[in-house]
Amino acid sequence: MSLISVSRPGRITQRPNSGSIRIELASSEDWQALSELEKASFSGDRISARSWRSFLANASATITVARDASSRIVGAAVVLERANTCVTRLYSIAIAPHARGRGLSAALLADATQRMRDAGATVMRLETRLDNFAAQHLFERGGFVQRGRKSSYYEDGEDALLYQKPLGDLGSADETVPGDPT
Ligand SMILES: CC(C)(COP(=O)(O)OP(=O)(O)OC[C@H]1O[C@@H](n2cnc3c(N)ncnc32)[C@H](O)[C@@H]1OP(=O)(O)O)[C@@H](O)C(=O)NCCC(=O)NCCS
């Protein structure tokens, strides 16, 4: 049984014994908490505090956060849009270590893709590390397909796998979170 249901973009509700989690757009004050999440989630290729402030001030970056019942950020996703293209890029997604294993990343991913679909985007692309099996599983389960590989893409020399997903009607068919009652 899943602990999470997705009712509409921007909101998820967890079943009672896990406390409630909400997904919403980040605010400009969130840069410090986002930096902390980044430090806890990535050992290299991190988004700096300065970059977080810049993303938060930039209309072409959509940053969504998952907050717990105390409004603490337990997850975040960053999507970048480019002018004159319907292709968007999932730049980052991370869940705080203590909040992993509950399907929050799938909910954040579904929310981010729905927001981009609503904004008129037709494709979402992303890169992930070749050795990041949890992320690959998350993206493949979310309907992303591999479209290539870039060698030595990351700071430590690891390759990147490139994924993409169409955001049209066909792209939404596999976005239900496990156990979603709808
Ligand atoms: C990747 C990440 C966002 C997933 O967060 P999460 O929601 O807690 O993920 P879960 O633990 O629920 O796992 C997601 C899925 O991957 C599976 N999974 C977890 N670890 C796995 C592994 N080592 N190999 C294969 N699958 C794995 C889970 O079983 C789950 O599958 P399911 O949805 O079919 O049940 C989280 O691990 C994270 O923040 N990692 C650090 C940052 C990062 O790597 N971000 C991605 C960058 S592209």
Q: What domains does the chain contain, in order, with CATH numbers? A: 4-166 (3.40.630.30)
134 pocket-lining for ligand 1 (C-beta < 6 Å): yes
**Looking at ligand 1, which residue's alpha carbon is closest to its atom 26?**
134
User: Residue 106 pLDDT more than 60?
Assistant: yes
**Looking at ligand 1, which residue's alpha carbon is closest to its atom 12?**
101
2, 37, 105, 128: which to mutate for ligand 1, most atoms within 8 A of CB? Answer: 105
* Whole-number average pLDDT of the chain: 87
Q: Give the closest residue to 107 by CA, choosing from 40, 175, 41.
A: 175
- Tokens standing for 54? 């810049």
Which has more pLDDT, 152 or 15? 152
Determine the distance separating the centroid of ligand 1 and the alpha carbon of 83, expressed in angstroms: 31
Region of residue 125 (left: phi > 0; alpha: psi -120 to 50; beta: else): beta
Give rounded-to-5 percent helix, strand, coil for the chain: 30, 30, 40
The pTM of the full predicted model, rounded to 2 decimals, is 0.86
Encode pLDDT of 24-54 as tens digits. Answer: 999 999 999 999 999 999 999 999 999 999 9
